[in-house]
Amino acid sequence: MKRLGIIDADLIDNGTRHPNLACMKISAYYKEKGWDVELLESYDNLDKYDLVSISRVFSFTKVPNSIYKDGRCVDVEHPEIDLKKNIQIGGTGFYYDKAPDLPYEIEHHMPDYDLYKDYIQKKLDKGEPRSRYADYLDFSIGFVTRGCFRKCSFCVNKKYDHVFKASPVSEFLDLKRSKIYLWDDNFMASPDFNGILDELVATGKPFQFRQGLDIRLMTEAKAKRLSEVKYYGDYIFAFDHIEDKDLIIKKLTLWRKYCNKSTKLYVLTGYDSQDEIDIKNTFERIKILMKFGCLPYIMRYEEYKNSRFKSMYIQLARWCNQPNFIKKQSFRQYCEDNERYHKAHSKNINKYCSCYRTMLDFEKEFPEIAKEYFDLRWEDLNEYRR
């Protein structure tokens, strides 16, 4: 029997808590062909497999040079040329926006939902909570559409210039799983928005679009329809640029006309710039979201690490990305709380904690920004309290 080793490179490098859908489809396809398929947890002894399939979503995920025939990748544009004979690779982590599609018969195969079974069992046996692995255990996973027309400069989804139907829900639906999540790039632009929702609703299972939905495309009809479905978790949209402020306010007003459920918006930071203007624009977007009773979720573009306000970006993310903090405390209260905790628990009480010091330093240099935003409270500004 031929042997296939599957490597989810992000998993081995601790970069993900989601199963890799491509790995699951490849696994199912080869199992059906009679191969012995194994999820590998290291890069050891790859020579004993007839084929090793490595998938990588993130470019920062490390893979060893031992997968290349001369011990290194010479042609980074076409890394497949340099691979050892029994190795194949795929995913945006290797090819960024030029990742080749899976062959049709693999792309449209029912995923192998058992691929991670032994791996998860080992984690559970060690006492890790089941909830940490809910994505592996409880969800059917797929793309109902692919593609996006926007081509945002920071996004890997540039391969297509429109949204098209990818898979019927039945193609990836596992009836034993209680929920569904979807990796679509821009479902809101789907020409078959209602038809696909009909399919999802017919399953009777709650579902969620994980990548966020494009609120700029919201209409009365879409807001009404989306608000009526059995949606799982928060509705997630994005508010990437302050220039979209008026449009986002208009669309959130429309959304709140129909839906008062928990709504979160990704807030991209450190992308347009990494200075005090970007910090101010981030606070301004947070303020707008507070008014609509929405939760900001701070996304930090890699460049933030090179900013002299790096710590400010980190504190903003820590404050916003935990609903319990942002809902209950202003930024100042959050930082003061951190300092109180530091004073009570640290041996080094002569120094401020980094969170409080970051706030003080920023306030000293930019008192106007601090005055305008540091004391805003979600509870006070929220005009849509239930």
Query: What residues make contact with ligand SF4 under the rule CB under 6 A?
Result: 148, 150-152, 155, 157, 185-186, 214
3-state class of 244 per DSSP? helix
Computed from CA positions of residues 131, 135, 140, 146, in that sequence, does the dihedral angle turn out positive or negative?
positive
Instruction: For the CB of residue 217, give the shortest distance to ligand SF4 in the complex, in Å.
Output: 9
Strands, DSSP E only, in 273-371? Answer: 295-300
The closest of 54, 58, 68 to 6, measured between CA atoms, is 54
How far, in Å, CA of 213 to CA of 233, rounded? 13
By beta-carbon proximity to ligand SF4, the closer residue of 152 and 201 is: 152
By beta-carbon proximity to ligand SF4, the closer residue of 217 and 314 is: 217
By beta-carbon proximity to ligand SF4, the closer residue of 88 and 219 is: 219
Instruction: For the CB of residue 18, give the shortest distance to ligand SF4 in the complex, in Å.
Output: 17
How far, in Å, CA of 337 to CA of 385, rounded? 25
By beta-carbon proximity to ligand SF4, the closer residue of 297 and 356 is: 297
Instruction: For the CB of residue 146, give the shortest distance to ligand SF4 in the complex, in Å.
Output: 10
The closest of 163, 238, 157, 174 to 28, measured between CA atoms, is 174
Distances (CA, A) of 339 to 19, 319, 322, 336, 345: 38, 14, 18, 5, 10
Residue 40 contacts residue 52 (beta carbons within 8 Å): yes
Instruction: For the CB of residue 176, give the shortest distance to ligand SF4 in the complex, in Å.
Output: 31
In the chain, what are the helix, strand and coil shares in percent, each to the nearest 5?
Answer: 45, 15, 40
By beta-carbon proximity to ligand SF4, the closer residue of 46 and 267 is: 267
Instruction: For the CB of residue 160, give the shortest distance to ligand SF4 in the complex, in Å.
Output: 10
The closest of 252, 320, 255 to 291, measured between CA atoms, is 252
Instruction: For the CB of residue 361, give the shortest distance to ligand SF4 in the complex, in Å.
Output: 32
Residue 40 contacts residue 5 (beta carbons within 8 Å): yes
Instruction: For the CB of residue 240, give the shortest distance to ligand SF4 in the complex, in Å.
Output: 7
By beta-carbon proximity to ligand SF4, the closer residue of 239 and 304 is: 239
By beta-carbon proximity to ligand SF4, the closer residue of 157 and 333 is: 157
By beta-carbon proximity to ligand SF4, the closer residue of 3 and 241 is: 241
Residue 332's H or E segment, with its range, is helix 331-345
How far, in Å, CA of 29 to CA of 6, rounded? 12
Instruction: For the CB of residue 55, give the shortest distance to ligand SF4 in the complex, in Å.
Output: 20
